[in-house]
Amino acid sequence: MKIGVLALQGNYEMHSQVLEKIGIEPITVRYPHELDTVEGLVIPGGESTTMSKLMNRMGFYKPLKSFANDYPVLGTCAGLILMSEKVVDADLEPLGLLDVQVERNGYGRQINSNTINIEFELNNVGYNIRGSFIRAPKIVSYGNSVNVLAMYDEFPIIVKDNKHVGISFHPELDNISILHEYIFLSDRTNN
Ligand code: GLN
């Protein structure tokens, strides 16, 4: 299976390595037409405002939204911001793939660039992973269609909406592949 990694800006290389580790062929996506060759997409961390400008310039918005009707999209950190419905504190156009409202850098000094322990369940199996937070967005509210998979300090940090998953931290930095595996491999039959 081929999964795209949006490579306009940010931390996309490590996502490719995580995908390779679970037997998926990562495809670097720099132009909208490259979406035609993949069956899912990762939007990496980075700088959401910069990424949004580049997406706009490259004409990604419309094709990416229609791609997301058929295929799963996984966003980490800035990727989650771009996938949200609304960004409460920035003038940037999100894709609206996850019915969440986010606040950029919402954890402030509390867990500003820090690692915490995260416990959560997927398909009734428990996991305990490291969560590396780097100027992470906070999910400040969410709609009924959102399934919260993990919380930290009373706020969701892993969410699922329809076939899409958003994560406020960076699993790829700790070589954690379970969430990539979940969205692109094990969950495909449940959509
Ligand atoms: N704070 C960044 C933003 O607002 C996101 C940080 C990250 O992706 N690690 O875009």
Supply 88's token pair.
């409460």
pLDDT digits (tens, 9 = 90+) for 102-155: 999 998 766 667 889 999 999 899 999 999 999 999 999 999 999 999 999 899
180 is annotated as an active-site residue: no
pLDDT digits (tens, 9 = 90+) for 142-189: 999 999 999 998 999 999 999 999 999 999 999 999 999 999 998 654
What whole-number distance in Å separates Cα of residue 187 and Cα of residue 13? 24
Domain boundaries along the sequence of the chain: 2-185
Q: Give 27 Cα–ligand 1 centroid separation in angstroms.
A: 23
Find out if CATH 3.40.50.970 is the number for domain 2-185.
no
In ligand 1, which atom is closest to the CA atom of 104? Answer: 4
Say what the pTM is: 0.95
Supply 13's token pair.
């290389």
36 Cβ contact partners less than 8 Å away, ≥ 6 residues apart = none
